[in-house]
Amino acid sequence: MIDKNGKNDVFFEVNWKDKVDINNCQVVKVTLGEKEAYIKRDELNAFLFAIGREEDQQKMIPQKLTKVRWYETVVGVKATKDIRKGEQINFPIKLSLPAVEKEIIGDVKKRQSNIIVPRI
C-alpha cells in the first residue's frame, strides 16, 4: 500500500511460512520501513468493519433475505341463527404465501476452521 505522504510504503503479507496458522491466512505480517507487526486476521477484519461504510459493512456480514408475500382479504359469513337473520359477519384475513425468491447479501464462504468469512 502506498503512503499518502510518499515517505514509507506499507506491505501486507499472508502465507509467508509453512506453519498452519500462518498458511491459512490467520496472521497478517505488516511491514512499515524496518519494522514488522503481526496482526491476527480476525482483529484486522474487525478494524476494517469499524472503519467501513454501511454498504461495506453489509457486504461483510452474511445475511439471508427472504421476501414474503402477504394476501389480505375479507371473508363474509351470512348468519342463519342466533344472530339477526340475514346479518353478515366479516372476518379480515391475512395469509402469508410461500416465499418467491431468496437473496443472499454478502456471499458466504466456509474455511477449514469453520469460521465464516464473507467474500468481498
Quote the CA–CA distance of 98 and 6 in Å, as a whole number: 57
The pLDDT value recorded for residue 107 is 55
* pLDDT 10s digits, 2-41: 778 877 788 888 887 777 767 777 888 888 888 888 898 8
| Consecutive H or E run containing 48 | helix 41-51
| Consecutive H or E run containing 77 | strand 69-78
Instruction: Over range 109-116, report the average pLDDT.
Output: 47
Instruction: Over range 57-67, report the average pLDDT.
Output: 78
Quote the CA–CA distance of 2 and 43 in Å, as a whole number: 22
**pTM score of the predicted model:** 0.45
- Asked if residue 111 has pLDDT above 50, the reply is no
CB contact at 8 A, 48 and 1: no
